[in-house]
Amino acid sequence: MKKVANLSPPTPALWVACLCADWCGSCRDYQERFEQVARAFPGAEFVWVDIEDQADVVDPIEVDNFPTVLVVVDGSVRFFGSITPQMETLQRLVQAQLEAPGAVGNPEVTALAQRLRR
């Protein structure tokens, strides 16, 4: 009888976007922290989105608070909202979304995630 290797489930595909604005001092300060968290999740894709430079992609979503984060796991939106601009907050948020089932049911946010990922 042939022995079958123990196969573990594949790692979920993780995609994280930070929606900010270049004119925002908090966003500029947060960008390095965002990049540090990205390095803690090798294989994931982290992107920085300037809502004014990419307004045509972000519309019709209104981003009122910075930073606003969008987390997609295996193609499903898991989180969309503003967070405090601390590295630990983002790291805990991303880890929790990787471990928790479920998706955000807002079709506009799902459409935004699809536009940004193109």
**Residue 39 CA to its chain's centroid (Å):** 14
pLDDT band with cut points at 50, 70 and 90 for residue 79: very high
Confidence of residue 3 (pLDDT cuts 50, 70, 90): very low
Contact 106, 60 (CB under 8 A): no
The CATH architecture one would assign to domain 14-116 is: 3-Layer(aba) Sandwich (3.40)
Per-residue model confidence (pLDDT) at position 72:
93
103 confidence band (pLDDT: 50, 70, 90): low
Compute the average pLDDT of residues 30-44: 95
Q: Rounded distance, CA 113 to CA 98, Å?
A: 17
What gap in Å lies between CA 97 and CA 95, rounded to an integer?
Answer: 5
pLDDT higher than 60, residue 31: yes
